[in-house]
Amino acid sequence: NPTGAKLTLGIAAGENELDANPERSRYVVDRDADGEGTVRRRVEVALRRHPPVGEEAGGAEVGSKDGHIDEVHQAKQQILALERKIQELEGRIPRKYPDVTFLNYKNRKRILITGGAGFVGSHLVDYLMMQGHELIVVDNFFTGRKRNVEHWLGHENFELIHHDIVNPLFIEVDEIYHLASPASPPHYMYNPVKTIKTNTLGTINMLGLAKRVGAKVLIASTSEVYGDPDVHPQPETYWGHVNPIGPRACYDEGKRVAETLAYAYAKQENVNVRVARIFNTYGPRMHMNDGRVVSNFIIQALQNQSITMYGSGKQTRSFQYVSDLVDGLVALMASNYTLPVNLGNPVERTIEEFAVIIRDSVGCKSKIVELPAVEDDPQRRKPDIARAKRYLDWEPRVPLKEGLIKTIEYFRKELARSNHSQRNIFVPETTEKK
């Protein structure tokens, strides 16, 4: 609560009046009179009808003193529950924003981040906000969540717009980080047409906006443009090996078109573009139901469930921690380098090794089970990051073990939170074949 005003619990019918209230008592939770009235919640608590003494013939029992005590006790319990809820809500409203750097008008940029409420986007928001820039976050909340950016809500440098970039957007900005798109295979395969639209129409809209207002635009592409690669590790000069009609094509080909569009706008319309090919990334704020290997394995391990390996587990990936990616994105935007740049951690591991690392890091006894392989699953993946090193002076700094500790801690809290609010076992989304 930025104003410092206290939330208070007001009781429309005070405790002493409960006896006299025949129908319901209404509890109104409101702020102190701070003039804002922004948080206002009403909770109606249905009470058992308590007729005034003597209302019912021979009803001495109903209106008895014991009945009374019951109801007062019940009401007290409900008040306690409400008070706990208020404490929880108060905790969620930041009392104070992090201290952002002050930038003067000349150095402060207006920056649009599409998908800014998502996993990667929200970390980038934090970084750029701390640097003192003005941020406009656009998200359709398909996979993004308000929770990821709620700590900035109300800040004078921050704006959140619920908008789907498949539709045009007319705003004035200096830079655009175009991150919007589902990125987890089960999510992007869930609605392939929407995934293609986001990466084609959405990208056209962002490039059109960049052209109109003269903004620099960074397109978030992916290691998936290399498909199931027959060159290893993958340099940016490799053209890839993608099945254009397979289940992953909506994303792989969508991102390939996004890159093609970027360079077409650069050539024809002089738009200043940057293209980041992002390799597998993990960290806090991944959705529990993300469905990618990091979140699935950690959640399974934390619950002592079997760790689900798709196929033999001999396929490889290279995992980068999200803060390294954010550094790379910012460095790329700031650079003069316009060709695609791989951003990923080149330490490669098999998925089986990865399962063991997670199990050991969590310290559980989960079995590692083999499920049917995923169609068109890339078999080897490792970025060649020579270009990023040379032109951005960038390379990942966070070792896997260190990043995993933070990520496991995050998922531990997420699980506690979800168990508290609903069920006991959380089953991560998997592409397990039935």
Ligand X SMILES: O=c1ccn([C@@H]2O[C@H](COP(=O)(O)OP(=O)(O)O[C@H]3OC[C@@H](O)[C@H](O)[C@H]3O)[C@@H](O)[C@H]2O)c(=O)[nH]1
Q: Which is nearer to ligand X, 50 or 285 (CB)?
A: 285
Q: What is the closest distance, in whole angstroms, from the C-beta atom of residue 222 to ligand X in the complex? A: 3
Among 27, 177, 251, 265, the active-site one is 251
According to CB under 6 A, which one of 53, 377, 410, 412 is a site residue for ligand X?
377
Options 29, 189, 196, 351; binder of ligand X; rule CB under 6 A? 351
Structure tokens at 141: 């909340």
Pairing between strand 24-31 and 273-278? unpaired
Binding ligand X by CB under 6 A: which of 75, 125, 183, 392?
183
Q: Which is nearer to ligand X, 164 or 290 (CB)?
A: 290
Does 374 bind ligand X (CB under 6 A)? Our answer is yes
Find the part of the chain contacting ligand X (CB under 6 A) among 71-79, 145-153, 220-228, 235-243: 220-228
For residues 249 and 222, give the distance between their C-alpha atoms in angstroms, rounded to a whole number.
Answer: 13
Q: Binders of ligand X: how many residues, by CB under 6 A? A: 20
CB of 349 closer than 8 Å to CB of 280: no
Contact flags string 97-136 toward ligand X, x per CB under 6 A: ----------------------------------------
Among 120, 125, 258, 309, binds ligand X (CB under 6 A): 309
Beta carbon of residue 377, minimum distance to ligand X (angstroms, whole number): 5
320 in contact with ligand X (CB under 6 A): no
Q: Does residue number 350 form part of the binding site for ligand X (CB under 6 A)? A: no
Within 8 A by CB and 6+ apart from 126, the residues are none
Query: Please, are residues 280 and 381 in contact by the beta-carbon 8 Å criterion?
Result: yes
Contacts 24+ apart (CB under 8 A), 95-100: 95/1, 95/2, 95/4, 96/2, 97/2, 97/151, 97/152, 97/155, 98/129, 98/130, 98/151, 100/129, 100/130, 100/131, 100/132, 100/155, 100/157
Active site residue 251: yes
Residue 310 in the binding site for ligand X (CB under 6 A):
yes
- From CA 210, how far away is CA 196, in angstroms rounded? 20
Is residue 315 a contact residue for ligand X (CB under 6 A)? yes
List 139, 164, 224, 236, residue binding ligand X (CB under 6 A): 224
The least CB distance from residue 351 to ligand X, in Å, is 5
| Residues of span 260-299 touching ligand X by CB under 6 A | 278, 280, 292-293, 296
Smaller CB separation from ligand X, 136 or 322: 322
Q: For ligand X, which is the closer residue by CB, 67 or 186?
A: 186
In the complex, minimum distance from the CB of residue 317 to ligand X, in angstroms, rounded to a whole number: 5
Instruction: Select from 5-13, 46-54, 71-79, 217-225 the region that touches ligand X (CB under 6 A).
Output: 217-225
Per CB under 6 A, 233 contacts ligand X: no
* The only residue of 187, 256, 274, 317 in contact with ligand X, by rule CB under 6 A: 317
Q: Does 226 bind ligand X (CB under 6 A)?
A: no
**Catalytic residue annotation:** 251
Give the interface with ligand X as residue ranges (CB under 6 A): 183-185, 222-224, 278, 280, 292-293, 296, 308-310, 315, 317, 351, 374, 377, 430
